[in-house]
Chains A and B, each alone.
Chain A
Amino acid sequence: MSSLKKSFNIRSRDFIHAGEASITVQQLLKQMRIDPALIRRIAICGYEGEMNVVMHGGDGLYRVEINSDRIVLEISDQGPGIPDIAKAMEKGFSTASDEHREMGFGAGMGLPNMDKNADEMFIESVPGSRTRVRMLFLCKGTK
């Protein structure tokens, strides 16, 4: 089965371009006329993921694989990793700096929001080294 793969670089601390990958993918999916509700879920997850990398991570990669039955979104970065994933998944837990909060980020809803919007989410992290979040979206049937 054929699948479309795309990848975008995410640069650390680049708030100006944050979200561009999500917008591009959103437009792509619209042209393929995928269910709008699904597109929105993917856009929310992608954006939250991008922002996580921009705020906390080193440079990262946004990768998407579009198949007719499922869409896989993978956001990875080169560190510093998450020491306690269970804690990071809690609503309201945040390690954002004051600077981030001043910009209106850091409510501690990033990962919980991604978990809520994805059909399945896997997160793996090596503290001090890297983090990878993979999200799976099923094209038929809604969550």
Chain B
Amino acid sequence: MVPEYISFVEKFCTGCTQCVRVCPTKSIRIRNNKAVFFEELCIGCGECIRVCPEGAVSSSFPAIEPCMKDKLNVVIVSPVLYAQFQGFMPGDVLIGLKHMGFDHAIDLSYYLEMFQYAVDEFVLENRQTHNAPWPLISPICPVVIRLIGLNYPNLLDHILPLRRPVGLLGDEIRKRLSHEHKIPEKDIIIYHITPCHSKVVPDHSGFMDDLGYVDRALGINRIYPELLAKMEQARELELSLFPNEHFSFVPSTRGPLWGMSGGEIAGMRIDGVIAVSGLKETMAYLEKIEMGLFSDMEYIEFRACTEGCLGGPLTAVDRYMAKSTVQKFIKMFGIGRRLPRRKIRQLYDKGWFFSQLKPLELMGVYQSKRKPLTIDDMKKIEKLMSLIHGNDCAACGAPDCRTFVEDVVRGEAELKDCFKIKE
């Protein structure tokens, strides 16, 4: 089942068509001056949330209060969070989170480094075995995975079959803390603070297994004001209130760098890598890969948001300001490796990184339920297109003339909605 990522507030919608035009999968139309939405085409990119001037589109983000009493509240922190605060160190952020009431605040950076190593290993192996076709596609961005599932199913076998770092870490934390505190696993609530709109709604398709291991996702913008206040308070306090926290080690800059486009591949040893960010660019590249191009490349990092996760829809500060903070971290800490490769290699050989579900099994999961167009439908569409000669004005409520005509042929719109035809 495909989850619903966004919802429209009808009374705010003015029918301006901005969301209609920006949607990469053409899932929105305006009917009777209000937005209507084919949810099965939605990939959760959040472009419509960003563009709506009236605030009528919102994330179907469950309204949850962080921190439950009688439970162990653990939070996994996306390093993008550190980049939101100028003049604070990553450690300050983790301390601030504890002041908010989380029992453990855990940095994701080391798991990101482990993931990078696993990708290196997989690519080196694939040079010999050719178990997967070139170029391999990064499994990190959930929007890109859904986009491939919906529009480029041919490329599913290009997706690297590794589990994503949040899933790996979530799984590990639950086991470890349950053992350490001697409490049942269900009494541990794992939160994930993320800039990513598409992670806040559980996705049961299986491959996107972050939320299989994380109980609740929290958008950065939701906790930002409170966290900032707590961090400022904590500055005044004695830091020794929180000695030797188990998981809250100082992160390497590899983590914050990961949030930038190109940050994932920057930490890898393999060559033949490209980083592509932005939905338009991603789609152009996927089309080309489908035509057989870039087969001389080994790994492509796709990010649906321009500039990478720092540009996510749920961030609190502007992506370029955040980027400047990350660059400051790089100057301070460098991006050296911190983990012993031999140990990660052992985990890799044990199959610890591998996803239970092969990406290829997503074939058909995201397929549109609208009926396919027949040859006769296509001929009708061609004929109507030549009648309209439009310039994609979107006044009819469809993103462009072609989509409008398709809706007409499908019986979902009426030809009289078009200005050009009226004339």
Whether B406 contacts A31 by the Cβ 8 Å rule is: yes
Distance between Cα atoms of A124 and B290 in the complex (Å):
28
Q: Which residue of A4, A26, A43 contacts B378 across the interface (Cβ within 8 Å)?
A: A4
Of B246-254, B304-312, B368-376, the stretch lying at the interface with chain A is B368-376
Distance between Cα atoms of A3 and B154 in the complex (Å):
25
A108 within 8 A of B: no
Interface residues of chain B: helix, strand, loop or mixed (majority) = helix
Contacting residues of chain B (271-288) with chain A, CB-CB under 8 angstroms: 287-288
Distance between Cα atoms of A46 and B293 in the complex (Å):
12
Whether A32 contacts B374 by the Cβ 8 Å rule is: yes
Distance between Cα atoms of A137 and B290 in the complex (Å):
17
Distance between Cα atoms of A3 and B151 in the complex (Å):
24
Q: Which residue of B154, B296, B372, B382 contacts A33 across the interface (Cβ within 8 Å)?
A: B372
Whether A19 contacts B288 by the Cβ 8 Å rule is: yes
Chain B residues contacting A44 (CB-CB under 8 Å) are 291-292
With both chains docked as a complex, state the minimum distance between the C-beta of A34 and any C-beta of chain B, in angstroms. Answer: 8
Chain B residues contacting A129 (CB-CB under 8 Å) are none
Chain A residues contacting B287 (CB-CB under 8 Å) are 23, 26
Chain A residues contacting B195 (CB-CB under 8 Å) are none
Chain A residues contacting B296 (CB-CB under 8 Å) are 104
Interface residues of chain A: helix, strand, loop or mixed (majority) = helix
B331 within 8 A of A: no
Complex: chain B residue closest to A47, CB-CB: B291
Whether B375 contacts A4 by the Cβ 8 Å rule is: yes
Chain A residues contacting B293 (CB-CB under 8 Å) are 47
Complex: chain B residue closest to A30, CB-CB: B151
Contacting residues of chain A (16-32) with chain B, CB-CB under 8 angstroms: 19, 22-23, 26, 28, 30-32
B153 within 8 A of A: yes
A77 within 8 A of B: no
With both chains docked as a complex, state the minimum distance between the C-beta of A37 and any C-beta of chain B, in angstroms. Answer: 7
Chain A residues contacting B422 (CB-CB under 8 Å) are none
Distance between Cα atoms of A44 and B379 in the complex (Å):
24
Distance between Cα atoms of A47 and B293 in the complex (Å):
9
Q: Which residue of B154, B291, B374 contacts A37 across the interface (Cβ within 8 Å)?
A: B154
With both chains docked as a complex, state the minimum distance between the C-beta of A3 and any C-beta of chain B, in angstroms. Answer: 7
What are 28 sample pairs from A and B whose C-beta atoms fall under 8 A apart? A2-B375, A2-B379, A3-B375, A4-B379, A4-B382, A19-B291, A22-B291, A26-B287, A26-B291, A28-B378, A30-B151, A31-B406, A32-B373, A32-B374, A32-B375, A37-B154, A39-B154, A39-B290, A43-B290, A43-B291, A43-B292, A44-B291, A44-B292, A47-B291, A48-B292, A67-B375, A68-B375, A113-B292
Interface residues, chain A, with chain B CB atoms under 8 Å away: 2-4, 6, 19, 22-23, 26, 28, 30-33, 36-37, 39-40, 43-44, 46-48, 66-68, 104, 113
